[in-house]
Amino acid sequence: MAEKKKNELWEWTKALLIAVVLAAVIRYFLFAPIVVDGLSMMPTLHDQDRMIVNKLSYKVGEPERFDIIVFHAPENKDYIKRVIGLPGDKIEYKNDTLYVNGKAYEEPYLEEYKKQVIDGPLTDPFTLEEKIGSETVPEGHLFVMGDNRRFSKDSRHIGTVPFEKVLGKTNVIYWPIEDIRTID
């Protein structure tokens, strides 16, 4: 009888250890939770939204324009921003319009805010050279911006983001329950 209890305890201990190791591997290498802190990604993301970061996404693929990424920022914080410029891109804003390599791009995620702004453009005009001292996004870096352009600390202030600082892509909100959705 004592042998059976000892055996059952060992089986439970093994199951618990396997579960802990699996959870650690999944969180460290594949997916991790993150909480949106602040209003810099409004109206797309709200303060205190809880999201899943896909850490595998850029181990098997490359960032694409308009992806929402999580990266280690200079202040020892993780930031959530949108990829605007890829390596080699020439970025410019004129008349509240994004130009990449001279071509105008639509930003449908900004339409709601653009309609609300009455005192000038949502995104102040700038060239990449004015912001980072280079005409193009350097190799191995990304130019990122928050959707709430007037209230976002992003590449216009902190410079470009090196690939090695990028944790992964995020596009799933899992909390609060009424906001569960995927984002483009």
pLDDT tens, 64-118? 999 999 999 887 889 999 999 999 999 999 999 999 999 999 998 888 888 888 7
**What pLDDT is stored for residue 66 in this prediction?**
95
Average pLDDT over residues 1-19: 81
- Identify the H or E element spanning 9: helix 2-25
Residues 6+ apart with CB under 8 A from 58: 163, 166, 168, 169
Q: In the prediction, which pLDDT does 141 show?
A: 96
Residues identified as active-site: 40, 81
Q: Supply the pLDDT for residue 113.
A: 82
Confidence (pTM) = 0.82
The structural domains of the chain, ordered by start, are 32-182 (2.10.109.10)
Q: Which of 75, 51, 58 is nearest to 154 (CA)?
A: 75
Mean pLDDT value across the chain: 87
Exposed / middle / buried, residue 18 (Cβ in 10 Å: 0-12, 13-18, 19+): exposed
